[in-house]
Structure 1
Amino acid sequence: MNTHGKLNYVELAATDIEATKAFFSKAFGWSFTDYGADYTAFAGEGLDGGFYRAPLCAKAENGSALLVFYSATLEETRNEVVRAGGIILKEIYDFPGGRRFHFAEPSGNEFAVWSEPA
């Protein structure tokens, strides 16, 4: 539902849109709608959004916003990310309030996944 003043959509660069789509489809079960060769959109994944073709990627160390998934089974999700072709940037670690890991998808964008404390 569109709500005034609330986050509604996110767009991320992707150097390889097809590889990025394949990764998120395999790791998280996402589906995509293509809008030409240079843009693909996803919906119903907590926050709708899309990927546009560009020679850039989002990394937290460069000041980019970090999008964080939730998982009830953190180790299982980590393994799915790796099986789908993701690269683990930070292994599972504790932080105040839970545990998490960071990964990059095939276009290099950084994401994190968190869960409650063990």
Structure 2
Amino acid sequence: MTRAHEKLNYVEFAAKDLAATKAFFQAAFGWQFADYGPDYCAFEGEGLDGGFYRADLCGQSEQGGALLVFYSADIEATQAKVSQHGGTLVRPIFDFPGGRRFHFVEPSGNEFAVWSEAATA
């Protein structure tokens, strides 16, 4: 884990179904997890280290939750993998002033987004 003074270092998410959440991120994004008992798993080397803890909660941007955003060099392929592996699209690919992005919810209900540069004509 990288440590830089007063910089973001770790993020934790609630997950009502740890097994389904782990399986989704392993399949769609290639993440690896370390289990710390039956109620917590951690990931590292994914841009920001973090973990999931068992709870009947989830993070949604419309409820004021933080929205973590992935980068993709091929947004269409990433959207297809997310859908194929159990993610639910809540906003399909759309343009914004700086690129394109989509939003999805993983199996435990946490919302994430993926962005890429604007499509070239």
- Asked if Structure 1 and Structure 2 have the same fold, meaning a TM-score greater than 0.5 normalized by the shorter chain, the answer is yes
What letter corresponds to residue 22 of structure 1 in structure 2?
A
Alignment of 1:31-110 (within 5 A): 31-110=32-111
TM-score, normalised to structure 1's length? 0.99
Instruction: Give the whole-Å Cα distance in 1 for the aligned partners of 2:112 and 2:79.
Output: 12
Structure 1 spans left out of the alignment, 5+ residues: none
Counting matched residue pairs gives 118
CA apart distance, 1:105: 0.3
TM-score, normalised to structure 2's length?
Answer: 0.97
1:84-108 Cα shifts (integer Å, max 9, x gaps): 1000000100001000000000000
In structure 2, distance between residues paired with 1:41 and 1:53: 12
CA distance in 2 between partners of 1:18 and 1:48 (Å)? 19
Unmatched tracts of structure 2, length 5 or more: none
Partner of 1:5: 6
Cα deviation digits, residues 39-68 of structure 1 (max 9, x gap): 000000000000000000000000000000
Distance in 1 (CA, whole Å) between partners of 2:34 and 2:118 is: 36
The runs of 4+ residues in structure 1 deviating greater than 6 Å are none
